[in-house]
Amino acid sequence: MLTVINNFLSASELAHFRQTLDGANWRDGALSAGQLAAPLKTNLQVDDTSTEARSLVTSLSARLSQHPLFISAALPDKIYPPKFNCYQNGGHYGQHIDSAIMRCADGNNLRSDLSATVFLSQAQDYEGGELCVEIGGCLQEIKLDAGDMILYPANCLHEVKPVPKGQRLAAFFWVQSLIRSHQHRQQLFELDQSIQALTLKLGSGDEEVRRLSALYHNLLREWAYA
């Protein structure tokens, strides 16, 4: 399931991110890639230990913890601290799959159930740079406006097409979900969105709304950590 979250960052938040990244310390992105992926990766990444990176990670993490659509779609248990990259001058990332288990700076492991990209450059400001995700036997090409997010299963082959002109800035991170099964997570997401819509139409006191809400929480209880 691909989930697009439009306007995840507001215009003011986006301006803050862009201004901070302008003064950031960038380095070769291949340094953070695994042995197999490193030869496929040509981009720049912000030094994770820099003041700029730490500040933006704090801001983005706070936004994630408060965004209802992200929480509904991801049902996050753990979030790998976001990173920030830049593609330019033909930079690209060839087809690859993300590591299943990631080691966090605090020494804990995270199972990568979902991958996420938050676009920080306007789509018209650069050529190429599409995020191509192979899901369900179909190749999906994603190029969103600045401030939009794409959330997709981390077990999918994906790549970033070359950027011959302009600059593609983005934040990216991984999520360990409370629900490991992609199918179960999608079903819970669809059920939750229906409950939200019916609540607006009928009110939270409606009997059928209460019944569906109970079903949602019982399924969540059954499937969490399974």
Binding positions for 2-oxoglutarate:
168
As annotated, the binding site for Fe cation includes 96, 98, 158
CB-CB contact of 168 with 87 (8 Å): yes
Residues 174, 154 contacting (CB under 8 angstroms): yes
What span, in angstroms and rounded, lies between the C-alpha atoms of 91 and 97?
18
CA angle 172, 145, 54 (to 5 degrees): 35
Which residues line the annotated binding site?
96, 98, 158, 168
Q: Helices in 152-206 by DSSP H: which ranges?
A: 182-202
Report the distance separating Cα 185 and Cα 178, nearest Å. Answer: 9
Q: Which amino acid would we find at residue 38?
A: A
